[in-house]
Structure 1
C-alpha cells in the first residue's frame, strides 16, 4: 500500500491540466455523450468505432463479435462481450478474482474509516457508501482496492466471489474525471462523484462493489436492475433485497454484475481480516478480469 504521508507536490502543469474540470458543464457533457454513443446511423457509428479502436489500441480479437460493423451503436461496442476463454477465472473456492480489466490505483487496508485515494490523500469510507456509518462499519479496517478502467478496457464488471445481494445504494454527485491526475488533485474524489454501491454477503463475509461514475460515464447498469443512472438524480436512493424467494439476487463468482456505459472506476471492499491481497498486486499493476487478487477466508477463521 502506498505511503499517504509522502505526497509529491503538485506541479504547475498538474494544476493547469486539472482546473478546467471545475469549469466544465459536467452533467450537460455527460448527457451529450449518452446521446452520441447511441446514434445508430451506420456511417456515424462505424466511423466512431473505427477511430476509437484504432486510437486506443482496442484488441478486437478478444471480442465475442470482432466485426466493428456488427454493433448497432458505439455504446454496444464499448460494452462488448468477450470470448469466454480469454478471461478464465483463477482456481480456488475462496480466491478473490479481479472484477474488471484495468489498472490498480490503490490496494491495501482501510485505516478505520479512511481509504487511500492517492499519495497524500484519503477519503471517507462512510461518505463513499452514502454517509451511513452502519453501512460502512463492516468494512472499517478491511481490505480494499481501487481499480481504474481506461477507455480501451473491457467495461463489464464481474463478481470476485459468489455473493448474495443485500443492498444497493445510488449516491448522486459530481462527475469529475477519475484519471490518476484527478485522483491526486481532487479531495475526496470517489466520495464526491456519482456512484452505485452493491453490498453482498459472501463466504468471506460482507463485500461491496462500488461503481464510481465520471464525466462522460453516461450510464451505470446492474444485471438485476438495469440502468441505475441516468437519471443522475439529486437524492440518495437505496434498495434492500431478500435472501430468498421473489426478489432475491445471488450471483456466482465470475458472473457479470454490471457495466459502465463509458469507463470509470470500481472500488472493492471487504471486512477486517477477511481477505489477504496477493503481494505482487501493487499500485500501477495492470489487471484482468478473473485473475487472482487475493484469498478470502470464512468469517471467524
Structure 2
C-alpha cells in the first residue's frame, strides 16, 4: 500500500504548486494591465473534468424532498450565503419541498414592473457586456472573445438565399464580417447588438422575454458545463461556444433577434415552458463526447410578448441576446451593473 501513496500525493502537490503559480502570474499580469487568458493545455484539462456528471448528480440531489422542519433553516442558510431577497418570494420557505423548487421560486406579483421601453432585461443579474457587434469575434467580457459563428451555428435555418455556405468563417477580416452581418440582418442599414447577463446563485432564476417577438427556430448544443462566473469568462476565451446552450432565433420589430440560455456547472437543467421537446443536461458517454457541440434543431412557431415568463435555470447561468437594431441604439445600463427583470436596458 505504501508504494503507491507518494505518487498521487506528489501529483497533487505539483498540481497545487502549478495552480498557485498561475494565480500569482495572473495577478502580476493584471497589475500590468495585461489580459491573461487560458492556454490550450489548461482548457483541455478543464474540459476533461467530470463537471457534467457532477451537475447531473447535483440536479438529482436538488430534487430530493426535505422534511418541512428543515426547509427554513436550510434555505435560510443558502439565502444568507448568496444574498437572496426572501421578501420577494411568492411563497414562504416551508412551501418549497426541495432545493430545485426553491431555486426556481416565483416572485410576488408586482415586484418586477415592466418598463415601457422596447427592450427590457429578461433576468435579474449582472450585465457583463452590451453594445454594438463589430466583428465575428464577440466580447464575453472586456478583451476576451468568442466566435459568433460557433456560438449560433450555421445560418441554414434561414431562407436559401441567406445561407452561409459560401462564407469563409475562418477569416476575421472586415469583408468576411460584413458578409456575415449582411446574411443575418433584415435591413442593411441596421446594426447588430449584443447583451450578456450573468445570473448568480442568489438571483431570481426564471427568465422572461425581453421584447415582443416571433420565434421560428431552436438550436440546442449539447456542450460542456463549465462555470460561467465572470472570473472564468474573463480567463477562458470561447467559453460560451464550449458550453451547453439553447439558441432561439426569430424576428422582432427591427429584424433579427436571438435569445440564448447558456448552461453552466451545477445547473441541473434549462427549461423552456413552450418547448416541451427540449431536454438539457443529458448524460453523455465518452464515446459520443466528440459530438458534444453538434446541435439538435427544430422549427418552431411561437410568439413571446415582452415580460412573458418563458423559462428557468436550475441554479444560475448566463443569457446572451443578439439583436438587430437601428444605428445609434444606446444601452442605458453599463457593464458590471445590476439589472432586474422588466427594467429598460
Shorter chain as denominator, the TM-score bin is 0.7 to 0.9
Q: Aligned residues, how many?
A: 274
Aligned to 2:63: 38
**Residue 273 (1) aligns with residue 326 (2):** yes
Scaled by the length of structure 2, the TM-score of the pair is 0.73
Deviation of residue 41 (structure 1)? Answer: 3.0
More helix by share: 2
**Residue 123 (1) aligns with residue 146 (2):** yes
Scaled by the length of structure 1, the TM-score of the pair is 0.83
**Residue 228 (1) aligns with residue 279 (2):** yes
**Residue 145 (1) aligns with residue 170 (2):** no
Distance 1:114 1:74, change over 3 A: same
How many angstroms apart in 2 are the aligned matches of 1:132 and 1:138? Answer: 8
Deviation of residue 129 (structure 1)? Answer: 1.1
Aligned to 1:201: 251
**Residue 291 (1) aligns with residue 343 (2):** yes
For structure 2, list consecutive stretches of 5 or more residues without a partner in the other structure: 1-31, 157-162, 165-179, 285-291
Distance 1:22 1:166, change over 3 A: closer
Distance 1:272 1:127, change over 3 A: farther
1:251 aligns with one of 304, 310, 334: 304
Counterpart mapping for 1:78-89 below 5 A: 78-89=103-114
How many angstroms apart in 2 are the aligned matches of 1:228 and 1:108? Answer: 31
- Listed one character per residue, the Cα deviations across residues 123-166 of structure 1 (whole Å, up to 9, x for unaligned) are 11111113447487426950111100011111111111111111
Structure 1, 159-168 or 43-52: larger mean CA deviation: 43-52
- Listed one character per residue, the Cα deviations across residues 27-71 of structure 1 (whole Å, up to 9, x for unaligned) are 111111111110113266555322211211211111111x11101
**Residue 110 (1) aligns with residue 123 (2):** no
How many angstroms apart in 1 are the aligned matches of 2:211 and 2:327? Answer: 12
Counterpart mapping for 1:59-70 below 5 A: 59-65=85-91, 67-70=92-95
Deviation of residue 120 (structure 1)? Answer: 2.3
Aligned to 1:237: 296
For structure 1, list consecutive stretches of 5 or more residues without a partner in the other structure: 1-5, 242-247, 294-301
| 1:33 counterpart SS class | helix
Whether the 8 Å CA contact 2:37–2:237 is kept in 1: the answer is no
Q: State the structure with more CA Rg.
A: 2
